[in-house]
Amino acid sequence: MEIERHEYDVVVIGAGGAGLRAAIEARQQGKRTAIVCKSLFGKAHTVMAEGGAAAAMGNVNPADNWMVHFRDTMRGGKFLNNWRMAELHAKEAPDRVWELEAWGALFDRTKDGKISQRNFGGHEYPRLAHVGDRTGLELIRTLQQRVVALQQEDEKLHGDAEAYIKVFAECTITKLLKDGPGEDAAISGAFGYWRETGRLICFETPAVVLATGGIGKSYVVTSNSWEYTGDGHALALLAGAKLINMEFIQFHPTGMVWPPSVRGILVTESVRGDGGVLRNSEGKRFMFDYIPEVFKDKYATTEEEADRWYDDQANNRRPPELLPRDEVARAINSEVKAGRNSPHGGVFLDVSSRLPATEIIRRLPSMHHQFKELADVDITAEPMEVGPTCHYIMGGVEVDADTGASSVPGLFAAGEVSGGMHGSNRLGGNSLSDLLVFGRRAGAGAAEYVDGLAARPVITGETLQEAEAEALAPLSRSGGENPYEVHHELQRTMNELVGIIRKAEEMKEALEVVEKLKERAANTGAPGGRIYNPGWHLAIDLRNMLLVSECVARAALLRQESRGGHTRDDYPAMSADWRRKLLRCSLGAGGEISVEEQAQSSMRDDLITLFDRAELSKYLTADEMAAFDALAK
Ligand code: FAD
C-alpha cells in the first residue's frame, strides 16, 4: 500500500488543550499547521478535566496575584520546579483564561458577574476558573471553535478551509523522522498510520510540537484512558531528546474504588474544595493527623477552624483535606494499610452531610451522575468510597521554558508530555492553565524556528522504509504472543512495584520484569490485518509504555529521598541536597536507557525573595541559605 504524504510547516501531535492552543498559535503566525490525534477530535484528556484552570485573577479574593500563585506552585512541587516555567505560568495564566472567554468560553460567574474561582488543594486563594465540574469540556469546545473560526477565515481568504490548519483524527504517530543520523540532526517529519484503515502516512515538516499527554496506562489503577500510553515521551526519547523528573508520578487521592470495572476513575478534587471531608471506617476525619511539618502553619488543626475557613478565609487556616495531592494520597494509603478502610478498600469522602442536595447537584453534576450510574451511590445522601489512582506524570520532555524547544532541533513539547513546570508534584488546576500558557508558547516557538530555517530538511527513502518496517512488524508475527498479556503484566508490575510507596528491592525487581517484557513485546503478534486492528495498535504502544516505565523505575531507584510524587519507604525524608539534582533520562545507541544527574539552576533573586526565610530553610541547603541571607542584607 502506498504511503500517504503531506507537507506542513508545523505538525502538532495531540489535540488536547496543549495541542490545540499550540496549533492555533502556529496558524496565527502564518504557518501551515496539521493537528494529528490518535483519538477522535475532541476526545482528549483535557475534555475529562473537571475542577478548573488555575489563574490568579483575584476575582473571588482580591489578595490573589501571580506572586502568590508562583509561591503555591513551587511549594506544591516541593521546590523542584523549573522556576522560570512556574513564573511564566503564574504571570500568563490569567490572560490565557480571559482569551478563552473572548473566544466564547462560558465560565461560571460570581454574584457580581466576574469569572468565578473555586478552592483547590495547595492554592492559597480560590483560583480555579470553572464550568461546574465540566471545565475541560468547555476548554476543548472553545479551542475547537477557535480552530473552526480560523478555518472559516481561510475559506474566505484562500477558498479552502483547510489551507492553513487541518485536523487528522484517529491517526497515530509512531516515529519522528530526522534529517540525518548525527546528534545535531533536525526533525524532518512524522510517520504514522490511520487507525481505521491501517494506511501509512508521512508528514514532511521541519517542526513538530508534541502534545500527547501522559503515561497512565502503564498502571492498572488509573484515571487515564486508553490514549495515555506515553507515546510522546517515547517518541521524544527515540528522537534523541531528554526526559526529566520521570520518577514523579501523581497518584490522585480520590479515584473510585468500587465496582471493580470503574476502579481508578477520578473523583474530582472539587468535592473537597466545595466542603467534602475524608473519614475512615471509625468515622474519624483523619487528615488532621497527617499535616506535614512544612505545611503546619498553613492548615487548620481543629475541625471547627477548618469548617470556619469556608466562610472566613482571612481569619482561619485551610482544612487539611486541601493539602497537596501527594500528602492526601499518602494519608489515605496509610489509613487503608492500618485497616481503617471502607468496605471496598478505600476511605469515605462525604459531601452529603456538608451541603444541601440541590447545591451538590448544582456544583458537582458530573460526580452525582457518575456515582449514580456507575456505583448506584447517591452522593447527596451517602458518602463515596475513594482511594488513590495513577493520574498525572510530572516528568516529561526537557524543554526551554520560554519556547518549548527540546534539545532536538525542530522538536517542541507542551502540556503533560513536557517536564519541569510542576516539579515533584502538580497542584490541581495547574494543568489546564499550563496547557494554555505553554501550548501557546510552543506554537510560537515552532513558528519562529521555521522562520529561521535557511532550507527545509529532507526525508530520505531509507528513513521512511525503517519507519514502515517498524510499524508493520507486529502484523508479520502472526504466531506471536498476545500484546494484551504483556500489557497487563506491565500494568501490574508498575502498580505493585513502582507505585505510591517505593522500595529499592521492589524497583530492581520491576526493572528485571520490564527487561523480560521488552523481549516478549518484541515478539507480540497481531493477527487480523491492518483494518481497525486494536491488537496491532497495542503492540506498537507497548514499545512506548515499556520505554517510559523503564525511565520511571530507573529514576525512582536513583532518587534516594521522598518528595512529592516519589515516596521511598527506605528514604522517607526530603533531602535538601537531592533538591538540587534533576534526573535526566536518555536513550543510548544500543537502545539502553541511562539516567544522569543534572544540577538544578538557582532561582532568580527577585523570585527567591518572594519567600520567607523560615519557609526556605525547610527546603534549601546550608550554602543556599547563606546566599539568601547575603541577598537579604
Ligand atoms: P491530552 O488532553 O490528553 O491530549 C493528548 C492528545 O494526544 C490526544 O488528542 C491524543 O489522541 C493524542 N495522542 C497521544 N498519542 C498520540 C500519538 N501517538 N499520535 C497521535 N496523537 C496522539 N487538570 C487540571 O488542571 N484541572 C482539572 O480539573 C483536571 N481534571 C482532570 C480529570 C481527569 C479525569 C484527568 C484524567 C485529568 C485531569 N486533569 C486536570 C489533568 C489534565 O486534564 C491533563 O493533564 C491535561 O488535559 C493534558 O492535556 P494535554 O493537552 O497535555 O493532553
Model confidence pLDDT, tens digit, residues 6-43: 999 999 999 999 999 999 999 999 999 999 999 999 89
- Residue 218 Cβ contacting ligand 1 at under 6 Å: no
Centre of ligand 1 from the C-alpha of residue 42, in Å: 11
Band (pLDDT 50/70/90 cuts) for residue 132 is confident
Atom 28 in ligand 1: residue holding the nearest Cα: 51
Do 334 and 290 meet the contact criterion of CB atoms below 8 Å apart? yes
Which of 164-173, 473-482, 518-527 has the weakest average pLDDT? 473-482
Any idea of the CA torsion for 399, 403, 406, 411, to the nearest 10 degrees? 140
Confidence at residue 182, expressed as pLDDT on a 0 to 100 scale: 81
Instruction: Count other Cβ atoms within 10 Å, centred on residue 512.
Output: 13
Q: What's the 434 CA to ligand 1 centre distance in angstroms?
A: 11
Q: Which of 37, 45, 143, 432 to mutate to test the pocket of ligand 1 (most atoms within 8 A of CB)?
A: 45
Question: For ligand 1, is residue 73 a contact (CB within 6 Å)?
Answer: no
Please report how many Cα atoms fall inside a 13 Å half-sphere around the Cα of residue 345, on the Cβ side.
Answer: 10
17 lines ligand 1 (CB under 6 A): yes
Residue pLDDT, tens place only, 550-585:
999 999 999 999 999 999 999 999 999 999 999 999
Question: Is the Cβ atom of 255 under 6 angstroms away from ligand 1?
Answer: no
Percent of the chain with pLDDT over 70: 100
Asked if residue 435 has its Cβ within 6 Å of ligand 1, the reply is yes
Instruction: Look at residue 127 and tell me whether its pLDDT is greater than 80.
Output: yes
Tell me which residue has cell 477530535.
Answer: 41
Q: Is 45 annotated in the active site? A: no
Q: Measured between alpha carbons, how far is residue 48 from residues 132, 223, 266, 391 in Å? A: 12, 10, 9, 12
Cβ of 324 below 6 Å from ligand 1: no
The pLDDT tens digits for 283-337 are 999 999 999 988 888 999 999 999 999 889 889 999 999 998 889 999 999 999 8
What's the rounded mean pLDDT across residues 616-633? 92
Residue 270 confidence (pLDDT): 86
ipTM: 0.99
Q: For residue 300, what pLDDT is reported?
A: 96
pLDDT value of position 315 = 93
- The reply to whether ligand 1 has any atom less than 6 angstroms from the CB of 386 is no
As a whole number, the mean pLDDT across the chain is 95
Atom of ligand 1 nearest to the CA of 51: 28
CA-derived radius of gyration, the chain = 24
Assess whether pLDDT exceeds 90 at residue 406: yes
User: Of these residues, 195, 272, 441, 566, which one is catalytic?
Assistant: 272
Of the candidates 326, 346, 327, 320, the one whose C-alpha atom is nearest the C-alpha of residue 251 is 326
Grid cell 501571580 in the structure block, residue: 66
Rounded mean pLDDT, 401-423: 98
Give the integer Cα–Cα distance in Å for 209 and 412.
5
Position 352 scores a pLDDT of 95
Ligand 1 mean position, distance from CA 526 (Å): 27
pLDDT above 80 (res 1): no
Q: How far apart are CA 365 and CA 375, in angstroms?
A: 15
- Residue 326 has a pLDDT of 86
Q: How confident is the model at residue 609 (pLDDT cuts 50, 70, 90)?
A: very high
Say how far apart CA 23 and CA 10 lie, in whole Å: 8
The answer to whether the CB of 483 falls within 8 A of the CB of 538 is yes
Closest ligand 1 atom to Cα of 224: 36
Predicted pLDDT at 133? 82
Neighbour-count burial for 33-59, b at 16+ CB within 10 Å, e otherwise: bbbbbbbebbbbbbbbbbbbbbbbbbb
Q: Which of 20, 212, 536 to mutate to test the pocket of ligand 1 (most atoms within 8 A of CB)?
A: 212
Q: Taking 90 as the threshold, does the pLDDT of residue 273 lie above it?
A: no
Q: DSSP letters along 240-305, please?
A: T--EE-TT-EEEEEEEE-SSGGGTT-B--THHHHTT-EEE-TT---GGGGG--GGGGGGB-SSHHH
DSSP characters for 301-358? SSHHHHHHHTT-SSSSPBPGGGS-HHHHHHHHHHHHHTT---TTSSEEEE-TTTS-HH
What would the pLDDT profile of 485-516 be if each residue is shown by its tens digit?
999 999 999 999 999 999 999 999 999 999 99
pLDDT, residue 557, reads: 98
In the prediction, which pLDDT does 425 show? 94
157's CB contacts (< 8 A; 6+ apart) are 163
The predicted model gives 85-101 an average pLDDT of 98
Closest by Cα among 564, 566, 554 to 501: 566
Angstrom distance (rounded) from CA 554 to CA 559: 9
Q: Name residue 189's beta-bridge partners.
A: 177, 204
Q: What is the largest CA-CA distance in the chain?
A: 72
CA distances from 516 to 57, 133, 348, 552 (A): 51, 42, 39, 17
DSSP letter assigned to residue 389: E
DSSP 502: B
pLDDT of residue 527: 87
pLDDT tens per residue across span 428-453: 999 999 999 999 999 999 999 999 99
Task: Provide the grid cell at 206.
Answer: 521541519
- Residue 431 CB less than 6 A away from ligand 1: yes
Q: How far is the CA of 98 from the centre of ligand 1 (A)?
A: 21
For 12-63, the DSSP string reads EE--SHHHHHHHHHHHHTT--EEEEESS-TT-SHHHH--S-EE----SS-TT
Residue type, 67: M
Which residue, 43, 46, 106, 54, is CA-closest to 324?
Answer: 54
**606-313-612 Cα angle (round to 5):** 25
The pLDDT of residue 633 is above 90: no
213 lines ligand 1 (CB under 6 A): yes
DSSP classification of residue 181 = S
Mean pLDDT value of segment 452-471: 95
What pLDDT is stored for residue 185 in this prediction? 95
Give the mutation target among 35, 40, 46 for probing the ligand 1 site: most ligand atoms within 8 A of CB.
46
Cα–Cα distance for residue pair 544/585, rounded to 1 Å: 14
Q: Find the catalytic residue in 45, 96, 252, 579.
A: 252
Residue 213 has pLDDT above 90, yes or no: yes
Per-residue pLDDT band at 70 (split at 50, 70, 90): very high
pLDDT at 478 over 90: no
Taking the CB of residue 377, how many other CB atoms lie within 10 A of it?
A: 19
Q: Is the CB of 227 under 6 A from ligand 1?
A: yes
**Which sign does the torsion angle of CA 125, 425, 231, 404 carry?**
positive
Q: What are residue 33's phi and psi, to 5 degrees?
A: -125, 135
Residue 330 annotated as catalytic: no
Q: If you ran DSSP here, which 8-state letter would residue 118 be given?
A: E
Rounded mean pLDDT of 252-262? 91
Q: Is the CB of 81 under 6 A from ligand 1?
A: no
How far, in Å, is the centroid of ligand 1 from the Cα of 215? 10
